[in-house]
Structure 1
Amino acid sequence: MELKWKKLDNSNLRGYTAVVPSVAVGNVGQLACDLLISSLRMKKIASINSIAIVPILGYDPYDHNTIDLSMCCELYKCDEKKIIVLQLRAPLVYKYATSFLKQILEKFKESGINDIVILTSSYAHEKKHIMTSPFRYLVNEYSSYKNEIQKLNWTEHEIIENGIKILGGGFASLLYGICIEQLVPCLILYKYCSEGDNIPDAYEMIQYLDSVLRIFNRDKDLSSQLVQPISWKYLYGRPPPIGIY
């Protein structure tokens, strides 16, 4: 399986942090990445195609005044914050997922990417300690964020004997394992949630992410710096017709 990587410019990505959403319950990681891309006005620098990706094509989700089209898997960057986002808009085809993620990670390493942050979610009913934060994290020994997170006193993901499992979390644990194999610094951040209106979950996830990456201006209110993508207007379709009542 060959990864088709269509570059839209020759960006130098050395030293950047790559944020990758895992398609999971509530799509919290994807929504959080949407917020990042829109709020930082990130530039699309590549489109990625593979048999592991469900073929999807649509209008630009961040700008309705353009004729550009968007694909299922695209790469965005913010030079000022040295962040790239690999946005995925559909689940990976299971039997090709491992090969796809390994090739993506290899591309990142070739580009000089500094570390990986995986955003995902897990089923709300899997949260065993009810009175604790709904957020959990997992960080490998190569990550520079380890000490910072310990200072924040976040709750760490519980690792069981059978390995790392984030139920409902998509490919997050798989990519994390690949990062360990290839000695790549990696952090997983996830939230327990249910299906429904998960926009508030995405806002909270950005708040947690900002605590570590320091993306936004600390002298201003965070919510005032976040810009919802135009495409969010269509998340739940139109309201029901009044005539049915």
Structure 2
Amino acid sequence: MSEANIWNFKEDGDLSGYTLIVPSVAVGNIGQLACDLLISSLDMVKIASVYSPALIPVIGYDPYDLNSSKLASSCEIFKCAARNLVVLQMRAPLIYKHARLFLEDLAKKFKERNIKDIVILTSSFAHEKKHISTSPFRYLATDSSSFKSKVKAFNWLEHEAHDTELRIYGGGFASMFYEICGENSLPCLLLYKYCSEGNNIPDAYDMIQYLANLLPLFSEKSDLVSQLIQPVSWKLLFGRPPPKDIY
């Protein structure tokens, strides 16, 4: 299966000191929206495209530049050298029967490139939140994650396991990839938010604010929200308005 995955990197550089952010396609698509905000706001550069039987084929215009003649595909990788940040953006769910082998290959590729940390962003069904008055965010961190001491110092709430198997309902492939990172001795933090389907843009902003506590993503001299730039593709996030002719 790994031979069927095509990792078309434009550069072969080492990623020592870099953090990789991977969004899981999940309820509300909060992880993907948060990654969209990062890519657009940090003016990140595309360094790779990924092709795999595990990826549902998607192609379209560049979601970050209306004047670009380049196309976007199901899975692309972006880099911000100034922030030591790499983002793998997903635009379609994984095909379940191929998901594990694809994610194992993903872990292998970035381990070979000496990635420092991995952060998985996802979400879970709002009705799964058991303690109503608590924060909507939860986390999981491997012992080797450099963020583990920070999240404990911030008193973030850890994911509550109710059995031996890691389950994040509505969270897509996040739990599977977290376990794969552990199996490959990759430092990993999983961050998710309870939410419902709808306009999840505010949830994405919340997730970026949480991330900014862990990573030096933006200047501390000005308000974080003012530094976030929504991608142009968000103008059609809910499709075009209904044609006036139908009225």
TM-score category (smaller protein): over 0.9
Residue 214 of structure 1, CA deviation? 2.3
| 1:89 maps to 2:94 | no
Q: SS at 2:144's partner residue?
A: coil
| 1:237 maps to 2:239 | yes
Q: In the aligned structure 2, how far is the partner of 1:46 from the partner of 1:240?
A: 36
Q: SS at 1:175's partner residue?
A: helix
Q: In the aligned structure 2, how far is the partner of 1:47 from the partner of 1:133?
A: 36
Contact 1:11–1:45 (CA<8 Å) still a contact in 2?
no
Residue 13 of structure 1, CA deviation? 1.6
Deviations 1:184-235 (A, max 9, x none): 1000110000111000000000000111112111121000110000000011
Residue 244 of structure 1, CA deviation? 4.4
- 5+ unaligned residues in a row in structure 2: which ranges? none
Residue 11 of structure 1, CA deviation? 3.2
Which residue in the other structure is 2:35 paired with? 33
Contact 1:21–1:30 (CA<8 Å) still a contact in 2?
yes
| 1:183 maps to 2:185 | yes
Residue 239 of structure 1, CA deviation? 2.2
Letter paired with 1:86: L
Q: In the aligned structure 2, how far is the partner of 1:218 from the partner of 1:29?
A: 23
| 1:129 maps to 2:126 | no
Q: Of 191, 200, 204, which residue of structure 2 is paired with 1:202?
A: 204
Which residue in the other structure is 1:211 paired with? 213
RMSD: 1.0
Which residue in the other structure is 1:17 paired with? 19
Residue 163 of structure 1, CA deviation? 1.6
**Identical amino acids, percent of aligned pairs:** 60
Which has the larger displacement, 166-175 or 154-163? 154-163
Residue 122 of structure 1, CA deviation? 0.3
Letter paired with 2:178: Y
Q: In the aligned structure 2, how far is the partner of 1:12 from the partner of 1:220?
A: 32
Deviations 1:119-151 (A, max 9, x none): 000000000100001111111111111111111
Q: Of 54, 66, 75, which residue of structure 1 is paired with 2:77?
A: 75
Which residue in the other structure is 2:152 paired with? 150
Q: SS at 1:150's partner residue?
A: helix
TM score, norm. by length of structure 2: 0.97
- 5+ unaligned residues in a row in structure 1: which ranges? none
Letter paired with 1:36: L
Q: SS at 1:54's partner residue?
A: coil
Which residue in the other structure is 1:101 paired with? 103
Q: SS at 1:122's partner residue?
A: strand
Q: In the aligned structure 2, how far is the partner of 1:237 from the partner of 1:123?
A: 24
Letter paired with 2:33: L
Q: In the aligned structure 1, how far is the partner of 2:185 from the partner of 2:150?
A: 20
TM score, norm. by length of structure 1: 0.97
Residue 9 of structure 1, CA deviation? 2.6
